[in-house]
Structure 1
Amino acid sequence: MNEEQFKGKWNIAKGKLKQKYGNLTDDDLTYAEGKSDELLGRIQEKTGESKEKLKNFIDAL
């Protein structure tokens, strides 16, 4: 997968995350671009979901 394909898939994932968890901001998701564990922590903090459930949701995207 090249960089453009990855960016496209990431943009789709960001949109789906924002649809499911409306309180996530663009800043929260932009933060993730290099820090996946910290992103999961931020999403978990805002949504109350477990990290495992969030990982499974993101993997399914």
Structure 2
Amino acid sequence: MFNLDFIPVGEEIYDFVVRKDRINKPSVRAFLETLKSPEFSEALSRALPGYRTLPESGKAIYP
């Protein structure tokens, strides 16, 4: 908007917390599948230069 350059200063990684009893809800599953999809990764990169998904995006992790 202001023709400014993007200068990366660091990387942030975001995690989403979901209760175990909700992990199989269709909406949560759809969210995780979206995070994993190549279409989302491409759209994110186009819409927000400098942002990217990681290979483990959308992966459910249990303690």
**TM-score normalised over the length of structure 1:** 0.32
Higher RCO, Cα 8 Å, sep 6+ = 2
Q: Please tell me whether Structure 1 or Structure 2 has the larger radius of gyration of its CA atoms.
A: 2
**TM-score normalised over the length of structure 2:** 0.32
